[in-house]
Structure 1
Amino acid sequence: MARGKDIDGSMSVPTFYGKELRWKREEAGLSLEAFLEGIFYGKTFLSDIERGERRMPLDLARHADRVLGTDGFFERHCEDVRKARRGPHAAYFEKVLEAEKHAECIEEWSAMAIPGLLQTGPYARVLVESAHPAALDDWVEEKVTGRLARARLFEDNHSTPEYWAILHESLLTDPILPPLEMAEQLDRIVELTERRRITPQIVPRTGRPYPLMAASIKVMTFPDAPPLLYIEASYSGDTIDDPALVQQYRKAYDRLRAAALSPAASLDMIRAAAEDYRNGKQRDRLE
């Protein structure tokens, strides 16, 4: 079979790893489709790995070693590639960071903080500083810049994922910023909604129980790979790909969506809250 366009393996650890994978696959005379037979990943997914643009999942690395007879090489070096990708984000978040860029749909629920993809600089900064009170200013700014850079996926008309954000009403009524900065944060959500980049829903403060009360989650689905679930706490996060567990959380998310206000009513509530902050008329949070 014809060999693909050459990859410069000297650019980074991921490109070296990907180039080796392509070399072994082509040396075995396998097309992308033939290599992937028996495992649920698409050829675009595999091609991205070979170009160093996507991480190799452990199950696919083990599949590569079986199919190519590489004696565990790709499984052993999965972790090396992951470490090489490390930037300003926490190590446990890096799989999510990459997955966001390739997701077909992202569904997020948060009761404690506005999700990172929707945050403004001041909002991100106060969260980073509250979690790391002794951190130096340069370190904080690196974290904030990295978080804001994730939102670039909303600026690409051709690859923007469908993004659904369910938020608790307390995120509108219990400010963590001065009024004008809170208004700017809510305006950001309104602007993304009006540009049809996101769909927000608000779970109202009713005093009644609702699904996923004890969790903040992100579910990501892809055209060429199984779905991923991400659950986060203050200093840790867990990425889950077990199909049964992912499905259980997705069902709970659908029930939560049904308990929330409609997108139109939610947008009206966000607009009104932003206007209240601008005009110094913040609502009593006990209303």
Structure 2
Amino acid sequence: MLAKGVALLDEDGGLLNDWSCHDDGKTAERPKPSVRVLAKDLSWELNRRNEVQVVVENDGTVAVDGFEVLYYYRDAQGDVADPEYYDTTFAKASHVAAGGDLYYISFMYKNVVLNPGERNAFGNGAKFALHNSDWGDGFNANDDPSHHGLGRDFAVADSIVVLDRNGNLLYGGVPQPRFADSVVVKNVSESRVTRVGDVVYVEIDAEGYYTLEIENAVGAPQAKLFEGKWGEGTHMVVIPADKLKQGGYLVLRNGNVILNWQIFK
């Protein structure tokens, strides 16, 4: 007996058997990659240093082909020394200024495939330490946005960020930089930007010089959508299709004032 769930065709493409196929009219969707981060801090002197171990686990149903782990920390006065890396198996480690007082440590696993249920580097992940250059007591590990909730035992750490190899956000929340007096962040709850598909509507309440740009999950500019003078009213801008990536931000500025941050979801 022929299976009705399988279509059997002749050489001309004609159907040879009874084929039962359910079609709900919807486009088939590929499962999205999903990960989580487990982390702990082994240091006994959080007022002098941290010693963080970060492990990425694939908790989804599809493989993750290449990814980057970001640990954010703050250094307003430039006191923090370069990170000490204790374990970077399979990863390229670096540290980057993300704007204002915000920095991040990056572990790039460019050629690593993480299958469902697997953890990076055989479950050991990456390990590093931060401290002030003078090893003084002024260091506070709890000031780091990515240190939130960390203890001496592994725990889920959604304050640590994971990007896919294209820079799209897979996991975690990206903190906002704190700037010096030269840059002001206005109340971002005042929504001035509305996105409908690839069209952005910007509400302007006063004539001035404005910039609308796309930044990636770590605050680096990716594309400038508009720069120039806008008058009071609603203005429309079209986003190029290749810039509509999950995890990016729309950022509206008026001079040195950031008026709006909005993440692509």
Provide TM-score, normalisation by structure 1. Answer: 0.23
- State the structure with more CA Rg: 2
Provide TM-score, normalisation by structure 2. Answer: 0.25
